[in-house]
Amino acid sequence: MIAAGELKPGMAIRVEGQMFKVLAAEFKAGAGQLGGVVKTKLRNLTTGRFLEPHFRPDERLEDLELERRSMQFLYGDAETATFMNPQTYEQVEIPRAAMGSSEKFLEAEMMVAVEFHEGSPVSVEFPAVVEARIAQTAPAAHSQQDSTWKEARLENGAVILVPLFIDKGEMVHVDVARGRYLDRVRIAKKKGT
């Protein structure tokens, strides 16, 4: 058991019989004699749905122990994604709904951390930043405005906003959690050329 005031992102808890991953937890002090509240953002590990409950700081919650294993993404269908442990060749399937919106960034042979609870896979931890290729966007334009953005479709089908100077076929870094453009991937120049 853990006090709600001790919750941190990345933890797993059980609320009303359901398993949740803590995405955000913030303590808000109360005014006067009010004791304050812990505002949280949770993702259901079974359905992928989000919940934003408030807890009293001293409220006791059941915390869950998660085991992390580095696994390789093999393939997926509309409902599930299959991962393999490269050392033991053990394969597990995880429902796409449980991965949340980040699942669209899965690529063949990508290594991710799969989290297990009591031997069953419950969650996938994606890298914070991935490289993605722009599949479709308006032609590049060089303007004096730094704050102007346009839509771009990535090869994985996700749509993000990118600066006007980004063109089709370019590689960009994307923040997986927010689905936002970070910067253009710089290609290292070979020495002597």
* 121 lies in the same domain as 166: no
How many structural domains is the chain composed of?
Answer: 3
The tokens for 27 are: 């303590």
Q: What is the pTM of this model?
A: 0.72
Q: Among residues 27, 57, 28, 52, which one has the least CA distance to residue 42? A: 52
The tokens for 164 are: 């006007």
CATH number at residue 47: 2.30.30.30
Is residue 192, in this structure, part of any structural domain at all? no
* 133 lies in the same domain as 161: yes
Q: Among residues 79, 80, 75, 28, which one has the least CA distance to residue 56? A: 28
Instruction: Give pLDDT tens digits for 28-86.
Output: 877 666 678 889 999 888 777 888 999 888 889 999 988 899 999 998 888 888 999 99
The tokens for 169 are: 């076929």
Domain that holds residue 176: 129-184
Could you say which of 37, 64, 91 is where a domain stops? 64
